[in-house]
Amino acid sequence: MEVFIMLKKFTVKNFKNFKEKIVLDFSKVHEYEFNQNLIKNNLINKLLIYGPNNSGKSNLGAAIMDITTHLTDNYGDNLLYLCYKNYDSIDDTVDFSYEFLFGDKNIVYKYSKNERRELLKEELIVNEDIIFKYNYQTNKFDNYIEEAKTIDISKKNREISALKYIYNNTMYWQEDNPLRLLMEFVNNMLWFRSLRYNEFMGVMANGENINDFIINNRLISKLEKFLKDCGQNYDLCEISESGKKVLGVKYKNYKVRFDLVASTGTRSLLLFFYWMNRTENISFVYLDEFDAFYHYELSEYILKYVNNKSEFQTVLTSHNTYLIDNELMRPDCYAIMGKGKITSFADSTNKVIRKTHNLEKMMLGGEFEK
C-alpha cells in the first residue's frame, strides 16, 4: 500500500469561538466493513461535519488553514482572521497543534500566536523526539536538525516562521524527511466555498480568472460533461468579447456568456469543477457549506464525487441531513459539532450502528447529541 502523509489530529485553543481546546481526530476509525474507501492509512480520509449555525464549522476551517498563513506564500483570506482570539478569555495566546502521520513517522508541529497573529513559539516533534524549538520572546533556539546546524536563526526576520526559514535555507532534503513532507503537505492545502464569491485559501499565491483557466487548458468539453452529469445541460463554447476569449453557451440563434445565464447553483458547480481540476497535488481540502446552493440529489452527486478522490483528505460541512446515509458514508466519517467538541456519530452513541440503521432518522431524533 502506498503511504501518504495525512493529518492525524488537529487541536486549537482560544481561537475565535473556541475558548477551550477543541480536537478534530482522524484516527478514531471503527471496524465497519462498508465504505472502506473512505479510510486511508487507517485514518479517516473523508469527513462530513454537521452542526447548528454558530457552532464553529467555518471557524474550524480557518483554524486548520492557519498553518498555511506562515509556512507558505499562498493566498490567505484575512477576513476569516478578524477577531482572531476568543474574547471571553483573558489569555492572549492562541495555541495550535497539528499531528501528521507518514508510515511509521508521527510528526507533530505546534505553535502559538498572539491576537495580532504574530508567532510566539514553534516546535517540531518526530516520534516523540524534539527536532527543534524556538521561542520568539526569548529568542531561544533548540535545534537538533543535522542539516541545519550551521543556520543562524538570529538573522531571520521576526515575521518569518523559524520552520519556514530553516526549510528555505537547508539544501538536499531527502524525500522522506519529515520537515520536507510537512512543508509539501501544507503548501498543497486548500479551503474554499462559494457563498458570496470565489473565497479560497492555500494552493497558490494569487487568484486567477476561472474562465481563462478553463479555456487555456482546453477544459470546455470536460466541464460540459461534468455539468451534464450534474443534471445541467449546457452547450458550451468559446466566444470572443471585446477581443477576449470567454466561456459561452450556444443557443439556436445566439451565443451568450456563461456567467450571464448560469444560476447560482451552476456557478457554484463551475467553481467546484475549477478547484478539482486546478491542481494534481492537493493534500487536504476543507469545503465549507459545500452544498449551500445544491438540490439534495446534486449534493449527493458532489459528495460521491469527492469521496472517490482518494488522493487527498477532505473535510466537508453541511446542514443537509439527506446526506446522512450509510450508503454514502459510514458513522465514523460523519461528525456532529457542538458544545465545544467534534464527535463522530460512531462515538456519539452507545448503540452498535449497523449498515441497515437509518442514520438520518437517528440524527433527527437526537441520538448523536451527547
Residue 196 binned pLDDT confidence (cut-offs 50, 70, 90): low
In terms of domains, do 68 and 165 share one?
yes
Residue 16 has pLDDT above 80, yes or no: yes
Residue 199 has pLDDT above 90, yes or no: no
Q: In this structure, what DSSP letter does residue 43 have?
A: E
What count of residues does the chain have?
370
User: What are residue 335's DSSP bridge partners?
Assistant: 49, 344
Per the structure, the complete domain to which residue 255 belongs is given by 212-264
- Look up residue 316 and give its three cell numbers: 466537508
For the stretch 132-149, pLDDT in tens is 899 998 888 888 777 666
In terms of domains, do 67 and 158 share one?
yes
Q: Give the CATH number of the domain where residue 187 resides.
A: 3.40.50.300
Instruction: Using DSSP bridges, classify how beta strands 22-25 and 255-257 pair: parallel, antiparallel or unpaired.
Output: unpaired
In terms of domains, do 125 and 241 share one?
no
In terms of domains, do 116 and 63 share one?
yes
Cα distances (Å, whole numbers) of residue 145 to 124, 150, 177, 299 = 10, 10, 11, 47
What pTM, to 2 d.p., does this model score?
Answer: 0.93
How would you classify residue 196: left for phi > 0, otherwise alpha for psi between -120 and 50, otherwise beta? alpha
In terms of domains, do 37 and 161 share one?
yes
Bigger pLDDT: 276 vs 243:
276
Q: Poorest-confidence range of 102-116, 133-147, 225-239, 314-328?
A: 133-147
In terms of domains, do 350 and 221 share one?
no
Q: What is the helix (H) or strand (E) element at residue 11, kind and residue range?
A: strand 6-13
| Number of structural domains in the chain | 2
In terms of domains, do 177 and 224 share one?
no
CA 365 – CA 358 distance, rounded (Å): 11
Residue 22 has pLDDT above 80, yes or no: yes
